[in-house]
Amino acid sequence: MRKPDDVRPLSSGPRHPATPTIRPARIEDALDLRDHLFAHLPILDVVSSVQTSLERAAKGEELLLVAVLAGRVVGQVVVTFHLQPSDCAHRASLDRLVVGHGWQRRGLGRALVEGAAAAAVRRQVRLLTVAVRGGTVAEPFFRAVGFNEYGRLRGGLADPFGGQFYDEVLMVRNLVV
C-alpha cells in the first residue's frame, strides 16, 4: 500500500496504444488523481472534489469517469447532464477532461470520451457538447473524436494569469446514429 506522500512519477512507457478500463470514480481514486493529474493540489482538495462529484452523481447530475491503466488512475472526464430546463434534457456536456502528461497520445483521451458518450446514450442523451479554449490541443483532439464546431466566441476566454484572450470554441457530437 502506498503512503499518501508517495508521489514518485510512474514510468509511462513507450507511446503505443493502451487499452484502459473506463469506470465511474470512487472516493479512493483521489490519491491517484492527485498523484498523476493534480500534483499541484493538496490531497484534501482532490478528495473534496471527488466527493462532490459522487454526491452529484447520486442525484443524476453528473458522472465522473476515470481511466485506469495497470491499476492506476491516469485520466478523468466529467459528464454533466442537463436536467433543467426540460427542453435541454437531451443534452449533456463534457468537463474537466485530462490525461496525465506521461500517458498522453496513447488513446486514453479517446477512450474516456467514448466511455462518456456510452454513458450519455444510456441516459437518452442525443447531443454531447464541450467548450474548449481555441488554439490548444483540445481543439484537434475533440475534432479527432467526432466533435464539430458549432460556434466560436472570439476572445471569449481570458487568461486568469495574464492579459491574453482566447477563443471559446463550442463543439458538439451527435450521439444519434
Ligand X SMILES: CC(C)(COP(=O)(O)OP(=O)(O)OC[C@H]1O[C@@H](n2cnc3c(N)ncnc32)[C@H](O)[C@@H]1OP(=O)(O)O)[C@@H](O)C(=O)NCCC(=O)NCCS
- HSE at residue 45, side-chain half, CA atoms within 13 A, is 8
From the list 1-9, 44-52, 98-106, 120-128, the region that binds ligand X by CB under 6 A is: 98-106
What is the closest distance, in whole angstroms, from the C-beta atom of residue 37 to ligand X in the complex?
8
Count residues binding ligand X (CB under 6 A): 18
What is the closest distance, in whole angstroms, from the C-beta atom of residue 103 to ligand X in the complex?
7
Q: Does 65 bind ligand X (CB under 6 A)?
A: no
- When binding is defined by CB under 6 A, the residue of 24, 102, 107, 146 that contacts ligand X is 107
- HSE at residue 72, side-chain half, CA atoms within 13 A, is 21
DSSP H or E run through 47? helix 43-58
What is the closest distance, in whole angstroms, from the C-beta atom of residue 146 to ligand X in the complex?
10
Count of CB atoms within 10 A of residue 20's CB?
Answer: 23
Q: Does 144 bind ligand X (CB under 6 A)?
A: yes
